[in-house]
Amino acid sequence: MAATRERGPAPVLDGARAGRGVWPATAHPHADGDVSVGGVRLTALAERFGTPLHVVDEDDVRRRCRAFRSAFHDGEVAYAGKAFLCRAMARWAAEEGLSLDVCSAGELAVARAAGFPGERTLMHGNAKTPEDLRAALGHGVGRIVVDSFHEITRLAALASEGARPRLMVRVTPGVDGRTHAAVTTGTDGQKFGFSLASGAATEAVRRVLGQRGLALAGLHCHIGSQITDPAAYEEAARRMVGLLAAVRAEHGAAPPQLDLGGGFGVAYRPGDPELDPAAVAERLRRAVRAACAEHRVPVPRLTVEPGRAIVARAGTTVYRVVSVKHGVAGGLLVAVDGGMSDNPRPGLYGARYTVRLVGRRGAGGDRAATVVGRHCEAGDVLVRDARLPADVRPGDLLAVPCTGAYHHAMASNYNLVRRPPVVAVRRGRARLLVRRETVHDLLARDVG
């Protein structure tokens, strides 16, 4: 499957011209209507691996890792593994010098299987189970981000049996990232963190420092996801530095690290706003330095935890059209062989996407279209407000870009549909990372 490039001016993928493309870095349209990613045609991938299919552009992932590393060159970039994790992804993050966030014993097991260094791993979660905590301690996880008083007590008890875990205290700074309610995590009244305003955060610090078996590595906050306003991060940073100063005033020293979480917004459709890592890094550095000068505290080492911004754009999902209804929902109603089982985001957050016919050039002009899935729910809609060629028909391939984050990771077996494979592409080669589920997989757990 070698790369083929047409001569002459290449057709432009939607939105790419504006410099705000939604396709992977190496995506390339062909004159015959096909699209290649990583030098491999999507039609060839569909042929070889079947549909639905998740395609990941490895170069795109690595470039974004590097962009964050260079933007935060004096800090730490921890990839939030919950966005998309398999052993290959953990290895890419390791090779690019990133740290890794996990939020369960399962994610930790995958990271370990990939040989990801324990000391560069952070464990998150508002309700880590005893199993999660034991796995974290047993595997030498570098930092555990604590989220409740019960957890501090539990860790103190576990720590007395062995190693001295390094903790960060997850703080709710009261900053609203102005994003979807389901992914707003920085305000009081949602389930994450110790409130800054109520004094719970300073009490959590007191309790950690009061335990001989525990060490305080730093403070943490994560104000939400899909944030596109850098001012929200600056405000969170200022408040967190204020807390560092309060800790120093009470205990004589402030912990050395300040983790400002992830949530860097990406464009799902051409023209959507997104955050530039370099610009955010510069503003954050300035805000932190100014606040530290004002409070006379040493400048902490910054950590950021991008998930979506590392992998969203690298992913493309390829579906095959199963049926088309005309004149329904104000245009074409195009049903494909996947749906909410491989992408629950439209249902969860009202997420919007673009879609493109691949493998042939359509005819008859563009029509308004809605792309729906195969599941037994009227809400199983993948793409609203789409435009597709009038002659789109069963057997055609459709590609939905920007599906690298929280797609494979959130996939389910609803209707006992088998979860799609994940294929990495790079320099003209395709490599299967996660195989398609089989009926045998489904039945293997059904032991009754």
Ligand X SMILES: *Cc1c(COP(=O)(O)O)cnc(C)c1O
Active site residues: 376
> 3-class DSSP state for residue 224?
strand
Tell me the CA end-to-end span of the chain in Å, nearest whole number.
45
Tell me if 322 sits within 8 A of 336, measured CB to CB.
Answer: yes
CA torsion angle 117 120 121 124 (round to 10): 180
Give phi and psi for 135, each to the nearest 5: -60, -45
The packing angle between helices 277-295 and 230-251, to 10°, is 30
**Is 234 among the annotated ligand-binding positions?**
no
Q: Is 65 in the site for ligand X (CB under 6 A)?
A: no
Burial of 258: CB neighbours in 10 Å, binned 0-12, 13-18, 19+? buried
Q: Is 306 in the site for ligand X (CB under 6 A)?
A: yes
Q: Which are the contacts of 137, defined by CB distance < 8 A and separation ≥ 6?
A: 155, 158, 159, 162, 163, 165
Query: According to CB under 6 A, which residues from 405 to 424 bind ligand X?
Result: 405
CB of 409 to ligand X, least distance (A): 10
Q: Based on CB atoms, which residue is closest to ligand X, 260 or 388? A: 260
Q: What is the DSSP string of 157-168?
A: HHHTTS---EEE
CB of 307 to ligand X, least distance (A): 3
Q: Is 263 in the site for ligand X (CB under 6 A)?
A: yes
Residue least distant from ligand X (Cβ): 307
Q: In the stretch 176-215, what mask flags binding to ligand X with x, by CB under 6 A?
A: ----------------------------------------
Distance CA 351, CA 35 (A): 24
Name the segment binding ligand X (CB under 6 A); options: 76-84, 128-136, 277-285, 376-384.
Answer: 76-84
Give phi and psi for 217, each to the nearest 5: -90, -30
Contact pick of 67, 80, 200, 357 for ligand X (by CB under 6 A): 80
Q: Is 83 in the site for ligand X (CB under 6 A)?
A: yes
Q: Based on CB atoms, which residue is closest to ligand X, 156 or 309? A: 309
Q: Is 81 in the site for ligand X (CB under 6 A)?
A: no
Q: Is 68 in the site for ligand X (CB under 6 A)?
A: no
Distance CA 60, CA 66 (A): 10
CB of 225 to ligand X, least distance (A): 3
Buried b (16+ CB within 10 A) or exposed e, 295-306: bebebbebbbbb
**Is 345 among the annotated ligand-binding positions?**
yes
Contact pick of 107, 305, 337, 380 for ligand X (by CB under 6 A): 305
Q: In the stretch 318-347, what mask flags binding to ligand X with x, by CB under 6 A?
A: ------------------------------
Upper half-sphere CA count for residue 213 (Cβ side, 13 Å): 13
Contact pick of 92, 194, 264, 353 for ligand X (by CB under 6 A): 264
Contact pick of 24, 186, 218, 261 for ligand X (by CB under 6 A): 261
Q: Which parts of this chain interact with ligand X (CB under 6 A)? A: 80, 82-83, 101, 124, 222, 225, 261-264, 305-309, 405
